[in-house]
Amino acid sequence: MSSDHHHHHHHHHQPNEETSSLRCVASTQDAFKRPVDRRLRPPSLLTHHEHVAKRSNVFHEAQLSPDGSAIITNNEDQCLRTYPLSADVLDENEEPRLLRPHDMHLSHSNIQAFAIYPHFNAGDTTSTLILCGSTDVPITLRNALALERPAASYPFVTRTTEEHCPPRSLAFTRDGNHFVAGSDNYLAIFDCYRDGEPPVSFRKLRSRRAAVQLDSSSFSRSAIIRALDISSGRTLAVGSFAGEVGLFGNEGNGACDMVFRIREASGSGVSSLKWSPDGKYLLVAGRKRDDIFVYDIRNTMSKVSTLTGRRAETLQRLGVDVLQTEHGYELWAGGTDGCVRKWENPGLAGGDQAPDAEMRLHDGPVSSATWHSSGAVMVTCSGELYPSPNLDDSDEESGSDDEPREDELFVPDNSLKVWAA
């Protein structure tokens, strides 16, 4: 009972103080609330489902450039967009400014992942680069200020059969000279300067032998890699859809230090991985799971604690982000209820840790909530792929079959917002 009371107290007081300290300074407003225009999409991309229902143009992910000058987004319409942030975006304004894309790239194959160059700096247009990985085509390097023409492309093919691998996840190495790509049972490293060339290092993650021997340095189950993160100590962590996590030294070039299975995520898989800034803890978020698990790396991957209350029971991918602070670090994550939550210093205390703050920033699932490293600006985005069940119910009661009404009823909050702390 007492813990319940505490949770309640938590809910009503602290979160409200937080909300008042965040000010929305810019937003895409209603620009993405209309369904995806199917004429923009090549017929090969139209699944049966899309012929039946208009798709909601959700924001799948938003990332903020390291210099804070631009936001890159990926939407359901398979477009990457660059939104410039002016230097005076944090100034006091009567109301939030309208965010308009500076440029866009329509991918003719589903976008699986993108990554921003770590030395991205608007003052040097040769550095404003992003990687884009789409299912059926080579990985491309593009200039965020001129997205349409790729600056370089990298065929993601296996060494022997030259079979194409879909890039499920991408991450630059810390110096930005290479990047890591995860696929289905493969992990590859590319040299950014070798335009047109396949990976410089290529690793098969799962072997039959390992599965039989239960070798702890190999994946025992199908390894579709949707999540990657490199620590300050240059350890690459990769997470699979079968709920396994592998650790590789030297940013993926080194040996596989270990593979461990997250029992709780074996049914749904790992959707996000983040290292604490000091590289001590690995935070693992599961697909369709509220819990985020905190592992201690030095202590041979023992689970230290569980961050609860994320509200992420959905097939939509809801990202998590880490912010370094004066007093350690914070984990931030969005939920299906439109709230963004933070947990302070995950790993410091054992057991279950409820959110230290929560704020309602959207009216739909929040797919990204990411801070600039200065702690001055947060970017959030949201979107709902399908109408929520309660809308459908009310529709049935009125006995109406005509589709337009359902469309009008369902106005999803597909939006990108910028917040001043």
Could you give the CA distance from residue 25 to residue 9 in angstroms, rounded to a whole number?
30
- The per-residue pLDDT for range 19-76, each reduced to its tens digit, is 558 999 999 999 998 777 655 555 445 554 444 346 789 999 999 999 999 999 999 9
Tell me which of 73-82, 97-106, 213-222 is least confident: 213-222
Q: Inform me whether the pLDDT recorded for 129 exceeds 90.
A: yes
**Can you count the helices (H) and strands (E) in the chain?**
6, 30
pLDDT at 407 over 50: no
Cα separation, 131 vs 147, whole angstroms: 10
What is the predicted pLDDT for the residue at 102?
A: 95
Classify residue 248 as left (phi > 0), alpha (psi -120 to 50) or beta: beta
CA distance 69 to 128: 10
The answer, yes or no, to whether residue 406 has pLDDT greater than 50, is: no
Q: What is the model's pLDDT at position 397?
A: 37
pTM of the predicted model, to two decimals?
Answer: 0.86
pLDDT at 389 over 50: no
Name the band, by pLDDT with cuts 50, 70 and 90, for residue 264: confident
Q: How far apart are the C-alpha atoms of 164 and 188, rounded to whole Å?
A: 12
Determine the average pLDDT of the residues in 280-302: 88
**CB-based contact 384:414 (threshold 8 Å):** yes
Q: Which long-range contacts (CB under 8 A, 24 or more apart) does 141-145 make?
A: 141/192, 141/195, 142/80, 142/105, 144/65, 144/70, 144/72, 144/82, 144/103, 144/116, 144/120, 145/82, 145/102, 145/103
- Which of helix, strand or coil describes residue 213? helix
Residue range 275-293: mean pLDDT, rounded: 93
Reduced to 3 states, what is the DSSP secondary structure of residue 295?
A: strand
Contact 85/28 with Cβ under 8 angstroms?
no
Which whole number is the average pLDDT over 234-255?
Answer: 94
Q: At 368, which helix (H) or strand (E)?
A: strand 366-371
Higher pLDDT, 385 or 382: 382
Cα distances (Å, whole numbers) of residue 224 to 32, 105, 173, 181, 321? 30, 26, 20, 11, 21
pLDDT score of 343 more than 50 = yes
What value, to the nearest 5°, has the Cα angle with vertex 303 and ends 15 and 61?
A: 50
Phi, psi dihedral angles at 360 (to 5 degrees)? -85, 110
Q: Write down the pLDDT at residue 192.
A: 98
- Beta-strand (E) ranges in 266-315? 270-275, 281-286, 292-296, 302-307
Q: Which of 329, 377, 378, 382 is nearest to 356 (CA)?
A: 329
Token pair for 147: 């997205």
What pLDDT is stored for residue 309 in this prediction?
Answer: 96
